[in-house]
Structure 1
């Protein structure tokens, strides 16, 4: 028998997790720290690996590893073969004898009931608990039963549910598993303790579920437990007075829970039991993996608004991306501070927040803050208003200087009037200045790494603040012209009708990007060989061929031309650290394939765009004719302003496009610097510079080795990237407030962001880089940014969980002429792919089609 096949539970302390698994490692650590843990032993992963190496095991494992990504059914099928192997392969005699002897030592010659539980290497992780994924066997009373239960724990590593869970979390396909055998507590009352509320996220509440007998009944859901909600001081907020736990026992649980949280440094999910003598035993403690990270704060409650949600990205920022967006937002600090936002952005594990407490508490600032955030990321504004009524956020005394509203800047009519009179010249001036500024960011072609870094440091501020530094009069005139026209038409035309004249807007770089991709797809469609190649080849393989220059000419040149103009863009592009399409064109090929499936003139975005522009002109005439002859002067002025506004509104997306071009130039320089640091063996990959900030890049160039630090940051970034959603508003106690009026079922409602009605099957998309949207499907997403908009070319409508009237996604949806409803809480969970829905972008309502045998 090998020395590490079986260990006493206390001996497992300090052993590598890949030897004893997560559960045993935690229990051993708890034992060493003096927590009351039942005695037992661990059948380590070395024993499991020995068993797996018998017979067909190695071949079956190799086949599982080779299953292609994105094929969960084949993965589950192959895992089933390993499950059967674990149940049937003979256990070596030496191992069988070792397990029996360990059980006999535990029982001291007398039959003793034990629990046999799995302890996988992929279990009780900070971001994946694997709760309930592996098997547990209770009340096992002899050696033969112990051997059978150990074997079944091994097999549970390959169950359907565990295999799918690992795939969903992007974890190791081929983990190992240890098994814990522990004395079974003769429980009089048992259950689960959460040191933070796992539902609301509130860190100031403790939850205890308890039931008579074994805790497995609570964990499995076999009984309805006593439910206690307490403060961290043990004060009862909710719970029965006649439950199985006495008040003193609840207090003991609260105290041990707080000790465990302090010991492990994070909120804990704890399984516990009181025996007949009233002794408390702990049988498990692990991180609560669903809690969203919260900025550290002390004192009175604080409220935060998510920069990620505001920017339309649902994954954390890279460290370099966070530092760049901080610089960008400093250019807006005066304006944002006047609305009640904190001066600086807070970073927690890549999730960025503004502290909005001052704005929430100010009666003067709150309405302006609410309107601002609602326009960008509904329903954040409603949540701000709701918090203003929350007694935890009392209003600041009226009349104070900080309560004074920001002074209104006088509109510079003398500059907007020329823009209305000569819109093309006004737009051209903005473009010329932008080109001059962007040219200054291109950097040296030949230089040392130190010189390149000095260049990046010298232009960083200008590049990050280009949006604020560009002339804004023409852009302002485009938006103001439409507003003034609406006022002139008021009483005869409503706002929704005015919005219909802003479809098919020219000169919007995001819309132009989408149409350029469509033209590339159309050229490829006319070449049968190229067309079939694109449809039959995986996007990652096409991307590799593009970078190698080996694709057919119509594809190679078409994609190269597209990347020359728009390769600076990407999904989540506001994060400087994210690869651009030039770096990795795989998403471009995925979108091209998507567009190649759209056939027929009715699916031609170029035609639809031109028709929308013609219809908008006709609509201007029709709306302004509603005014009576006595108001002819108003009708003429409104018609003039609407036409001029159309010619200028494309500038709405232009500053962001310029920012992306500047980012791409600086990224190129930093990646070259990264190559130099790799050669010096202080980073593993050039792109690792995106997990540093500029000051650290200089340290790395000098002498500091950042490989360990980057690996740790990457691990955190990858863990946080797997979170299913980002709350737009978060409180310092961890609570993500919900709208008081949120619908519990039936039809869904949100912000009417783009007029029109469309009915079709839903397509819920979490990653646009690999999405497939069939013509006529309705795109449902948590959020969108410009990198998503090529999907709009085939989508019939858009539904998002966040977004506002002036966010990038809704602006482009209006210009493409597809209905959009945004700010729909929980849309990606409440709508299923394939479900037929109707999106009314004029009313802001999503309705569900009746389906046979399916509740509405």
Structure 2
């Protein structure tokens, strides 16, 4: 076994770590195996960024620590070490005034911090530089990653407190036992993910209105569509519109959190597949969205009718209005930070990789993603061929992708605090499978009942399996998966709570959904017939 460097020892989970803390694999956001270079950036950024952010927000948490094991990222949650009730009061007093300005805080950061840095990364790609200058730019990116994740949590965490305040007031004023019903009053809020889907739908409408375009999309494999479009005048005009779409929305990749995956702007085949998916059924984004907004407004009126007149009701109305203004924050921050930061970083790092190809250090630009951060700095300082290391790491990465990794390491704390915020996002239920009666449960994320054919989707490479009306069964979803929600009849996930991406988007598309089952991808197989009860959070399998 190769001896680890000091930097690598800092980010790789060891036996002492397992003895000292309880580590959970984040299968909601980071279910996939990651490359060494991405882990090198993400782990210090998350560990140090949360420490600063949580102190700035006076959170009842000290930080999230992150470590690498078998190619997966594991997280330990460290509580605040001081007087907890005082800390909670301090936190509430600090974040309350942020409720009305949450979206503005994000957009201010995008305008003044993120966008300028992204433009700088873009500029670096077109500039001639020495290896030493490239090294300094890589170090700039490493430092920015930590700042980005500090801002990430300072921006998103007040939304969680806002949600809990809204739930508490809803329950107190309506006497309804299920506080999560309040989220039905928050559907139909435009965000960057829905905005992306709307623009994709518009491209699909353009295809449907042209016999030439529709013939190309339905008559050729996805990989040949661009070349076929380029041979027709209408096709070339469509490609111009496609490039304009990618210039705005193309900075995302299948897993978001990774450097290895091609972005949409590099390879539009993923986008072309999504346009093809829209062609499978009659779907009108604008009409569907208007209906969701109408349903939200009706639900709000029903909710307000249950509340007694007075200050409490007025406080709920104000909290709800602020929540509506901020509710797109979850998808919007993902667009500008979670997805765009690694996408822009990947494109810059590929340019560094090209320089190392020219210096006979690596054989291909993307080989650098199989180096750790300190190793990359070393070869930029003293170029030396690292092909053996790269080949070994590639093999390890492929093995890691196939591994069934432990969901946790270490000993759970004896007293686990009831944390509704973590439950809403991550889902913390234990698996609940009734083999005799053929059903398992999870969280009721989106109401309704639907019976259909299962398609288990492990990643974007399986998207083509989905046919109109199928039941999407997966570990988790990210924004690039959203187009599937307009095609499928129901969604079931292993991971997540009702405020996870899958739960939130399912409500936006009015698709019955049960999330956080822990077992769906293990119990179900392609072709199974299931009934998804999104109202009660139960999935019935076996013959119906």
Q: Same fold (TM over 0.5)?
A: yes
Q: Using a 3 Å threshold, how does the CA distance of structure 1 residues 784 and 740 change in structure 2: closer, same or farther?
A: closer
Q: 1:687-746: CA deviations, max 9, x gaps?
A: 1111123332233233121211111111111122123x54432459xxxx9958554451
1:548, distance to aligned residue in structure 2 (A) = 11
1:303, distance to aligned residue in structure 2 (A) = 6.8
Q: How does 1:195-214 map to 2 (within 5 A)?
A: none
Q: For 2:327, what is the secondary structure of its paired residue?
A: helix
Partners of 2:253 and 2:470 in 1: how far apart? 23
**CA RMSD of superposed structures (Å):** 3.6
Q: Using a 3 Å threshold, how does the CA distance of structure 1 residues 328 and 536 change in structure 2: closer, same or farther?
A: farther
Question: 2:27 pairs with 291, 297, 309, which one?
Answer: 309
1:328, distance to aligned residue in structure 2 (A) = 2.5
In the alignment, what sits opposite 2:421? none
TM-score (norm 1): 0.53
In the alignment, what sits opposite 2:111? 435
Alignment size in residue pairs: 503
Q: For 1:407, what is the secondary structure of its paired residue?
A: helix
In the alignment, what sits opposite 1:605? 285
User: Does 2:319 align with 1:641?
Assistant: yes
Q: 1:779-819: CA deviations, max 9, x gaps?
A: 10122222222211212221011112332232222222222
Q: For 1:408, what is the secondary structure of its paired residue?
A: helix
1:550, distance to aligned residue in structure 2 (A) = 9.6
Q: For 2:346, what is the secondary structure of its paired residue?
A: helix
Question: 1:817 pairs with 510, 533, 537, which one?
Answer: 510
In the alignment, what sits opposite 1:799? 492
Partners of 2:329 and 2:17 in 1: how far apart? 44
Q: How does 1:49-448 map to 2 (within 5 A)?
A: 296-297=14-15, 304-313=22-31, 315-330=32-47, 331-333=49-51, 344-354=65-75, 407-408=87-88, 410-411=90-91, 416=96, 420=100, 427-428=103-104, 430-438=106-114, 439-443=116-120, 444=124, 445-448=126-129
1:616, distance to aligned residue in structure 2 (A) = 0.4
Q: Using a 3 Å threshold, how does the CA distance of structure 1 residues 622 and 344 change in structure 2: closer, same or farther?
A: closer
TM-score (norm 2): 0.81
Partners of 1:837 and 1:680 in 2: how far apart? 56
Conservation of the 8 A alpha-carbon contact between 1:549 and 1:556: no
Q: Using a 3 Å threshold, how does the CA distance of structure 1 residues 299 and 306 change in structure 2: closer, same or farther?
A: closer
User: Does 2:531 align with 1:838?
Assistant: yes
Q: How does 1:691-770 map to 2 (within 5 A)?
A: 691-701=370-380, 702-723=382-403, 725-730=404-409, 739=430, 742-745=433-436, 746-770=438-462
Question: 1:461 pairs with 143, 160, 180, which one?
Answer: 143
In the alignment, what sits opposite 2:297? 617
Partners of 1:549 and 1:308 in 2: how far apart? 46
1:754, distance to aligned residue in structure 2 (A) = 2.5
Partners of 2:248 and 2:457 in 1: how far apart? 26
Q: Using a 3 Å threshold, how does the CA distance of structure 1 residues 727 and 542 change in structure 2: closer, same or farther?
A: farther
In the alignment, what sits opposite 1:523? 206
Q: Using a 3 Å threshold, how does the CA distance of structure 1 residues 419 and 296 change in structure 2: closer, same or farther?
A: closer
Conservation of the 8 A alpha-carbon contact between 2:173 and 2:313: yes
1:763, distance to aligned residue in structure 2 (A) = 1.6
Q: How does 1:635-674 map to 2 (within 5 A)?
A: 635-659=313-337, 660-674=339-353
Conservation of the 8 A alpha-carbon contact between 1:481 and 1:645: no
Q: For 1:532, what is the secondary structure of its paired residue?
A: helix
Partners of 1:547 and 1:719 in 2: how far apart? 39
User: Does 2:499 align with 1:499?
Assistant: no
In the alignment, what sits opposite 2:418? none
- Larger % of helix: which? 2
Name stretches of at least 5 consecutive residues in structure 2 with no aligned partner. Answer: 3-11, 412-427
Q: For 2:488, what is the secondary structure of its paired residue?
A: coil
Q: Using a 3 Å threshold, how does the CA distance of structure 1 residues 554 and 617 change in structure 2: closer, same or farther?
A: farther
Q: Using a 3 Å threshold, how does the CA distance of structure 1 residues 545 and 576 change in structure 2: closer, same or farther?
A: farther
Q: For 1:440, what is the secondary structure of its paired residue?
A: helix
Q: 1:806-844: CA deviations, max 9, x gaps?
A: 322322222222222112233123223233322122211
Q: For 2:491, what is the secondary structure of its paired residue?
A: strand
1:404, distance to aligned residue in structure 2 (A) = 6.4
Conservation of the 8 A alpha-carbon contact between 1:349 and 1:720: yes
